[in-house]
Amino acid sequence: MNFDILAAVYITAVAVIFPAGVILGSPLDAARQRGLAYIVGGWFALVAGLAAKGAGPPAIGAAVVLTVIAALIARRRSTTIRSLAVGTPLAILVAMHATRLLGVEFVILYAIGRLPPTFALSAGLGDMLTAILAVPLAFAIHRRVSGWQRYALAWNVLGFLDLLAALSLGVGSSPGFPLRFIFEQPDSGPMGNLPWFLIPGFLVPLYLVTHLFIFARLLGTPISIQSSESMAMPGGARAKT
């Protein structure tokens, strides 16, 4: 089967599993979970539509910036997003980054001569390392292993910087981009088309948002929400912050 078809199935699966895991792991009631799922699904459809038309670096940048800004505004003004940011167990927020094993696809694209090495290897290996470390870290957070906060903060910095580097290198090696600074061949042009555009256009912004939520929790940034410190989880358990 064509590699792009296999990749499309894998990327779409991750695009469902990651937000679904965060939403279902949150303390939100079923109605608000469905509402968020509709919003995420609509955004996915919009991003896929842009990719189908051959979106370039400007569209990738807009997708990332608009998603992150919208999430941060909603975190301040929306009870639903504040509940998700504060009430979802850190272990779940971290564990869902195991889906970033899809970084192996960048390495494969480089190996078959379809992406430049600087971008592909940095983005691919960085995502894979972040994903591999996410599972034991999530376990350590859940069990409150000694020093888990330090480990979580170091991992969060690693994962966050990996995404920023991947975006910079991907855009910086795009054909026709006026500020291009990587001129390796091949270029990163494939990332502007389906199914690859779904990674920087849809998944990366969501990963960045969860990293920001994790930073806020680890660094003790106050988030105003009614009884956030004792927010109840589904089934009566209390949220872990």
How far apart CA 107 and CA 122 sit, in angstroms, is 9
Kindly indicate the confidence band of residue 70, based on its pLDDT and cuts at 50, 70 and 90. confident
Averaged pLDDT for residues 2-26: 94
pLDDT tens profile 131-189 = 999 999 999 999 999 999 999 999 999 999 999 999 999 989 988 788 889 999 999 98
pTM of the model: 0.87
* pLDDT higher than threshold 80 for residue 241: no
Q: How far is CA 178 from CA 31, 63, 171, 182, 211, in A?
A: 45, 19, 10, 11, 30
Of 160, 154, 145, the closest CA to residue 213 belongs to: 160
Return mean pLDDT, the chain: 87
* Helix H or strand E segment including 18: helix 3-24
| Residues written for the chain | 241
* pLDDT higher than threshold 90 for residue 34: yes
Q: What does the pLDDT read at residue 199? A: 93
Q: What does the pLDDT read at residue 109? A: 95
What torsion, rounded to 10 degrees, do the Cα atoms 78, 81, 86, 88 define?
A: 160
